[in-house]
Structure 1
Amino acid sequence: MQIPQIRIQSTQGRIGLTTISAKMEQQQPKADLSIQQPKADLLIETTKGQLSIDTTEARADVDLKSISRRIQEFAQQGYQDWLDGMARVSSQGDELMRIEYGGNPIPDHAKQNSESPMYEFNIGFIPRAGSVKVNYEPAKVKIDVQARKPVIDVQQNKPILDYTPGKVQIDMLQNPNLKIDFVTIDIKV
């Protein structure tokens, strides 16, 4: 008996892939930076110190007096001597007026008027301590500072990108094939 038979023969297709990778290059330029620092405004005001030394009394102690002071002292001394003289003459006149009470006023007055007075003297310092007057007003300093903020200018630079896209190339290395045959087979029964 004869049986028909189908014979199928297939060849698979083959493809080839060639890949070129993508490339990316990146550069970042530095930012442009400008910094300026303005000088601060500085104002200094100084009032000079003053030193005053008054040696008038110290000079007077060593007899270096001004004319006006000498005139004033001599006038004062003359007035005081005149008052002392008037008191002495008045006292002596009173003693002479009462001569009847006894005593010997005329020789006493002669002795009193002719003798130099006794001056008392102790240790003295010339010039006296504290006779030099010193006055000092210290200097005054006023400082005014106006600070200035820095001026900062920044220019950002964008990154530089270079991109090469990747590629995939597909090639047909073997085409698919399908072959179909009809054959009759003899079979013994």
Structure 2
Amino acid sequence: MKIPQLQMESQFARIAINRTDAKLEIKQELPKVHMEQRPADVTIRTVPGKLTIDQTQAFADMNLMSIFERNDRFSREGLQAVQEGTARRAREGKELMQIEHGGNVIAAQAKRNTHPPMKALGITFIPSNFSVKLDYQPAEVQIDVTTHRPKIQAETNSPQFTYHPGDVETSLVQKNDLKITVIEP
């Protein structure tokens, strides 16, 4: 027995989609800024430093001094020499007053007075160390600063928006189709 056959041909539907993107445009002008600031006021007060150098002792060590200082020095040295001489003579007088106690006092005094002691040899620095006196008072600086706040004025601009909406279009390019054919044997 022969059975008829069915033959089917189908065609799918085809859809076309056209799309337009949405656009958003944003524009904004730069802000306008006006700024003003006065410079700071600066005041500087200075008391200058002071250096004092006292060379009186150094000049005295080198025998370079005023006549008044020289007179004072020589009078002091003379007074001291007179006092030492008076003390020596008083001492020698007491020794002579006690001659009865024995000893050769006159010969001892003659020996002391004829041979003075040897002078010591030493190195001295002229002027002597630290004879120059220094005194320094450092400078004083006072700084006063007065600042001024800035004045700022700003004008902002609002943004401007432009929107173009998007779109989607669909269309049928090809319809669906189904063909059925019967084939007889």
TM bin (shorter chain): 0.5 to 0.7
- Determine the C-alpha separation between the residues in 2 that align with 1:75 and 1:117: 24
Gaps of 5+ in 1: 1-25, 162-189
Which whole-Å deviations, capped at 9, do the CAs of 1:30-57 have from their partners, x for residues lacking one?
A: 4432211210011111111111122222
Structure 2 counterparts to residues 88-127 of structure 1, below 5 A: 88-106=88-106, 108-110=108-110, 112-127=112-127
Which whole-Å deviations, capped at 9, do the CAs of 1:63-89 have from their partners, x for residues lacking one?
A: 222333322222221221111111111
- Determine the C-alpha separation between the residues in 2 that align with 1:159 and 1:97: 129
3-state secondary structure, aligned to 1:45: strand
Shift of 1:29: 5.2
Give the letter aligned to residue 150 of structure 2: P
3-state secondary structure, aligned to 1:38: coil
- Determine the C-alpha separation between the residues in 1 that align with 2:118 and 2:143: 65
Indicate the percent of aligned positions where both proteins have the same amino acid.
Answer: 42
**Is 1:41–2:22 an aligned residue pair?**
no
Q: Which residue of 1 aligns with 2:135?
A: 135
- Determine the C-alpha separation between the residues in 1 that align with 2:47 and 2:125: 38
- Determine the C-alpha separation between the residues in 1 that align with 2:93 and 2:72: 31
Gaps of 5+ in 2: 1-25, 162-185
- Determine the C-alpha separation between the residues in 1 that align with 2:50 and 2:95: 62
3-state secondary structure, aligned to 1:154: strand
Shift of 1:110: 4.8
Q: Which residue of 2 aligns with 1:75?
A: 75
Give the letter aligned to residue 148 of structure 2: R
Structure number with bigger Rg = 1
TM-score (norm 1): 0.58
- Determine the C-alpha separation between the residues in 2 that align with 1:31 and 1:77: 94
3-state secondary structure, aligned to 1:153: strand
Which whole-Å deviations, capped at 9, do the CAs of 1:112-141 have from their partners, x for residues lacking one?
A: 445555322322222222222122122121
- Determine the C-alpha separation between the residues in 2 that align with 1:69 and 1:104: 45
Give the letter aligned to residue 124 of structure 1: T
TM-score (norm 2): 0.59
Shift of 1:106: 4.5
Give the letter aligned to residue 143 of structure 2: I
